[in-house]
Chains A and B, each alone.
Chain A
Amino acid sequence: MGRKLLLDKAHIENIRLYDVYRREGGYRSVEKALKSMSPDQVTEEVKKSGLRGRGGAGFPTGMKWSFLAKPEGVPRYLVVNADESEPGTFKDRYLMEFIPHLLIEGMITSSYALGSSRSYIYIRGEYAWIVDILEQAIAEAKNNGWLGKNILGSGFDCEIYVHPGAGAYICGEETALLESLEGKRGNPRIKPPFPAVKGLWDCPTVVNNVETIAAVVPIVNEGGEEYAKIGIGKSTGTKLISSCGNIKKPGVYEIDMTISVEEFIYSDEYCGGIPKGKRLKACIPGGSSVPILPANLLLKTAKGETRMMTYESLADGGFATGSMMGSGGFIVLDETQCVVRHTYTLARFYRHESCGQCSPCREGTGWMEKILLNIENGKGKMTDVDLLWDIQRKIEGNTICPLGDAAAWPVAAAIRHFRDEFEWHILNPEECLRRNYGLANYGSVPAKV
């Protein structure tokens, strides 16, 4: 049984309420930070912890914090990114829904470290009922003296506000999020300047994922060095993985980063294996943007080593034979699933979510969607596969924000690893409408029931 730092108390009845959360040791990190630590000491602990951004990019959080500009007389802001929209990802929702005070506590402690007296939670608009849950938690925290003026007599003031979005994946990109928070379309900004220098309303701003900010609570409570002892190498601490697709027990799991991918999929403690005794075909381990891997490359790296649920191991082999930890959105496909159809739905998603600023992304995502739909419907041509490859190459790296890359990678990986399935669709236009391709050559993994 792995260690849990974020969800260890999530199952306690009424933990959503302040009194229960406090009784279970909640808000200790705020007491510790405000009474016995300077803001820089809090940042120092976060640096020591090795915590990496849990939104998808995996950038070291302490380093991000230390980039924050601190000009005299200019307000600074902490903005929590709760615009969770990456297909396969629903971990932040779980955390906010069931243990909202953990986020609020982490935000107060982090706001103290960063000097933010006005912090925002930017939450996707569809999570409308969670807005109420968060606002209730904020009101409770305020009534109990954890928010407002001169918190715990420290001289530190802080308020937290919830800002809902209105349906736009792109607002998960931090500069698009800031545009949206300023009441505009979610068009990403050109960087530099980075938000740490010029962010919300042109003021220095840190944007962090929900899970990242929640992790600050155990880091401050137990110390950064203790936190860094969990995990392997540069993958320190615990990570929330939201697993879905064809598995027996979909849901949100907190793992310490010491388990293998195989254990995560097949052990009863986690996903519980594939339903109906079917075999594993493929998996997207870190949210829809990261490369899909066929079963054989998922469980073992190209070098034949066991693939672990860590940032490094999931990325082992680069994009040729590896993938990424990403946001922790773990999507499993069983042997009956069609990779072409799945890739088509993702291409359609990115076309729908492209903000339209950069032509490679605006046009390219639409072309990829159309070509994939043609292939899926048995109307593809052999040259389409190379055309798709060519389009994704021309999107990747040629856009202001990473949405272009995010749209290109799933298509690239599907062609890289499942080219025969694309070709089968094209060569068998009638049969591909009746049945799926199945496992073919890449499914060497036996069923485990």
Chain B
Amino acid sequence: MSVQFSETSMQEFKRLVAAYPEGKQKSAVIPVLHLAQKEFGGWLDVPVMDYVASLLNILPIEVYEVATFYSMYNLKPVGRYMFEVCQTGPCMLNGSDDIIKYIFEKLGIRPGETTNDGMFSLKAVECLGACGYAPMMQMGKNYREHLTKEKIDSIINECRENAVRQN
């Protein structure tokens, strides 16, 4: 498989790198990895990381060490929709344990697992800065807050409907 950014992503790549002084393009590794993860299926395979290294003109190890440090990068395949449910103190006080349990009842997946059809992944994460709107989870770029069982039901339906529409 040859890894290559699309035309649009290449434009975005250039914009990201331009935020740093000349010779400091290594700084762009974090935003560029976000871009790569979005473009190449929601996770960072080694060839993808090598590609990012070549674009930024840095060593592959400089990309690996970053990709393995930060929790938003997925180093193995994930489902099409990822539910990242916060489980830290303030969310726990407001019932995040019940939300994680309910997702297990509905989809049969525990934190770290993906449904067999590759549709949903569940990740239990630490504080996302939405403590006043707990319980909550991140889904893609956005937060889903004040979660209830009913809300989980409707989010799951919404994902399934979107998937059908996009296929």
CB within 8 Å of B: which residues of A? 75, 84-90, 93, 118, 120, 124-129, 161-169, 180-186, 201, 242-246, 250-252, 284, 288, 329, 331, 333, 337, 341-342, 345-346, 348-349, 352-353, 355
Query: Could you tell me if A126 and B128 are in contact, using CB atoms closer than 8 angstroms?
Result: yes
Evaluate contact between A87 and B89: CB separation under 8 angstroms: yes
Does any Cβ of A come within 8 Å of B55's Cβ? no
Given contacts A87-B127, A349-B127, contact A165 B70 (CB under 8 A): yes
- Assuming the contacts A163-B19, A166-B30, asked whether A129 and B142 have C-beta atoms less than 8 A apart, the reply is yes
Q: Which residues of A contact B31 (CB under 8 A)?
A: 163-164
Interchain CA distance A352-B124 in the complex, whole Å: 12
Verify if B100 is at the interface (C-beta below 8 Å from A). Answer: no
Which of the candidate stretches B2-10, B106-114, B129-137 sits at the interface with the other chain?
Answer: B129-137
Do A169 and B126 touch across chains, with their CB atoms under 8 A apart?
A: yes
Task: Tell me which of A180, A181, A349 contacts B88 (CB under 8 A).
Answer: A349
Given contacts A167-B72, A169-B126, contact A88 B30 (CB under 8 A): no
- Contact A87:B30 (CB < 8 A) given known A166-B71, A201-B24, A245-B93: no
| Cβ–Cβ contact B126 & A163, under 8 A | no
Residues in chain B within 8 A of chain A (CB atoms): 19-21, 24, 26-31, 33-34, 56, 58, 62, 65-66, 69-73, 87-90, 92-94, 125-134, 138, 141-142
Residues of A within 8 A of B62 (CB): 183-184
Contact A183 B66 (CB under 8 A): yes
Whether the pair A244, B90 counts as a contact (CB closer than 8 A) is yes
Q: Determine the distance from Cα of A93 to Cα of B132 in the docked complex, in whole angstroms.
A: 12
The residues of A that contact B56 with a CB separation of less than 8 Å are 183
Given contacts A183-B66, A245-B90, contact A250 B132 (CB under 8 A): yes
Q: Assuming A88-B90, A120-B19, what are 4 further A-B pairs, CB within 8 angstroms?
A: A128-B142, A183-B58, A245-B93, A346-B88
A177 vs B88: C-alpha distance when bound (angstroms):
22
The winner among A120, A180, A245 for most chain B CB atoms within 10 A is A245
Q: Are B93 and A331 closer than 8 Å at their CB atoms?
A: yes
B33 to A166, Cβ gap below 8 A? yes
Distance (whole angstroms) from the CB of B44 to the closest CB of chain A: 11
Q: How far is the CA of A83 from the CA of B153 in the complex (A)?
A: 32
Question: A41–B156 Cα gap in the complex (Å)?
Answer: 56
Docked Cα-Cα span, A60 to B66, in Å, equals 33
Contact indicator B30/A163 (Cβ below 8 Å): yes
Contact call A242/B30, Cβ cutoff below 8 A: no
Minimum CB–CB distance from B37 to chain A (whole Å) comes to 9
A185 in contact with B65 given A87-B127, A168-B71 (CB within 8 Å): yes
Beta-carbon contact of A90 and B89 below 8 Å = no
Smallest Cβ distance from B148 to chain A, in angstroms? 15
Tell me which residues across on chain A come within 8 A of B126, comparing CB atoms. 87, 169, 348-349, 352-353
Closest chain A CB from B111 CB (angstroms): 12
Interfacial chain A residues near B131, Cβ < 8 Å? 87-90, 242, 244-245, 250, 329, 331
Kindly provide the distance from the CB of B70 to the nearest chain A CB, expressed in whole angstroms: 3
Contacts of B28 in A (CB 8 A): 183
Q: 7 closest A-B pairs (Cβ-Cβ)?
A: A166-B70, A167-B71, A250-B132, A244-B131, A167-B72, A183-B26, A161-B19
